Amino acid sequence: MLKVENVTKYYGNFKAVDNLSFEVKPGEIFGLLGVNGAGKTTTFRMIVGLLKPSSGKITLDGRFIDYDITDKIGFLTEEPSLLTKLTVKQQAIYYGTLKNMKEKEILNKLDELLIKFKVTEYKNKKIKELSKGNRQKIQFIMAIINNPKLLILDEPFSGLDPFNTEMFKNEIKHLAQNGSIIIFSSHRLEHVELFCKKLLVLKNGKNILSGNLEDIKHKYRKKNIEVIGDIDEEKIKQIKGVISVNLENNKYQIKIKDESVIDEVFDIVKTGKNISKFSVEEPSLNEIFIEKVGETYDK
C-alpha cells in the first residue's frame, strides 16, 4: 500500500504541497487532480523519490521510498522522457536495466508489449523517428516494462487517438487487476470518472476534495435532470432551486440545487408533450471540479 502522510513541500518560501495525506491500496486506481501548478507533479516527484518532502513521510508497503525500492515503481512523466537518439530496443534495455532487470527478461517483456500495443515494427527504430502518438506508446511501455507495483501516470493519454486511448485504459485496468497501485492525473476528467474509484483534488498544494468517487458525487447536492420532449422551459426556470435550463441536441439539461427540487420539475415536465425521457443524473466530475476549484481543469 502507498501511504502519503502529512506531506509538505517547500520551494524556498513557496509551499508547493501543503500537509497532503492519502493512501492507495493494491489494485486501486487513484486520480490526483488539480490545475497546472496545483502540486501534482511535485507530489509525483516526491513519490518516486526525485524530491524529498520538507515534512511528512511517504511509504510503499511500510518502507520509505528510496533507491532500494524504486525498481518496483513505474513512472510516466507528463513531458516525453525518452532518449530520442536511442532505438526503442536500446531504450528498453536502458530503462529496464535501471530497474534491475536482466537483458533477456527486458527483451521478452518488450516483445510482448510491442505486440500488445501493435508497434512491433518500431523495435529497432530511433525514438526521434516516431510520431507523437507512437512515442507516447513507447513511453508507456517503458513505464510498465518492470511490471510495477506502483505505477504513476502523469497525463498518460496525451497525444493519443481514441483507439489508442482505449488500448491504454485496458492495460491500466489489467495492471490494477493484477494488484498494481496506480496513481494518475489526466486533463480528461471523463477518463478519471471511468477509471478511478478514489480521487483527490489539489488546489494550491492543498487537498480540497478527496474520497471515493461515488461518495463525492453523492455528497455533491447539485443534480442534473435530462429531459427529451416538448416542455415549458420558462415555467421550469421559475422554480426556486433550478439553476439553469439548456437545450442541447434536442435534450434539456436542467441543473438543480438539490434533490428537493426534482418533484416540482417533474410536475411541470409531465404537462409537456412527447416526453420520452426524464432522468435524474449525478453531476459530472467536471462540474464538481469547476465548482470546487473555481476554474476549469484545462486552464
Longest dimension (CA), the chain: 71
- Neighbouring C-beta atoms of residue 169, cutoff 10 Å: 16
| Rounded Cα–Cα distance for residues 147 and 226 (Å) | 43
* Contact status, residue 220 vs residue 285, Cβ threshold 8 Å: no
**Is there binding between residue 50 and another protein (CB under 8 A)?**
yes
Q: Choose the binding region for another protein from 27-35, 66-74, 234-242, 251-259 (rule: CB under 8 A).
A: 66-74
**Is there binding between residue 100 and another protein (CB under 8 A)?**
yes
The interface with another protein within residues 117-176 (CB under 8 A) comprises: 142
Residues of 241-275 as b/e, b for ≥16 C-beta within 10 angstroms? ebeebeeeeeebebbbeeeebbeebeebbeebeee
List 13, 14, 62, 67, residue binding another protein (CB under 8 A): 67
Q: Choose the binding region for another protein from 31-39, 93-101, 117-125, 201-209 (rule: CB under 8 A).
A: 93-101
Instruction: Choose between 158 and 286: whose C-beta lies nearer to another protein.
Output: 158
**Is there binding between residue 12 and another protein (CB under 8 A)?**
yes
List 55, 97, 260, 296, residue binding another protein (CB under 8 A): 97
**Is there binding between residue 82 and another protein (CB under 8 A)?**
yes
Q: How far is the CB of 227 from another protein (least distance, A)?
A: 48
**Is there binding between residue 62 and another protein (CB under 8 A)?**
no
Q: Choose the binding region for another protein from 2-10, 44-52, 189-197, 254-262 (rule: CB under 8 A).
A: 44-52
| Rounded Cα–Cα distance for residues 110 and 88 (Å) | 9
Binding interface with another protein (CB under 8 A): 12, 45, 48-51, 67, 70-71, 73, 75, 77, 79-85, 94-95, 97-100, 142
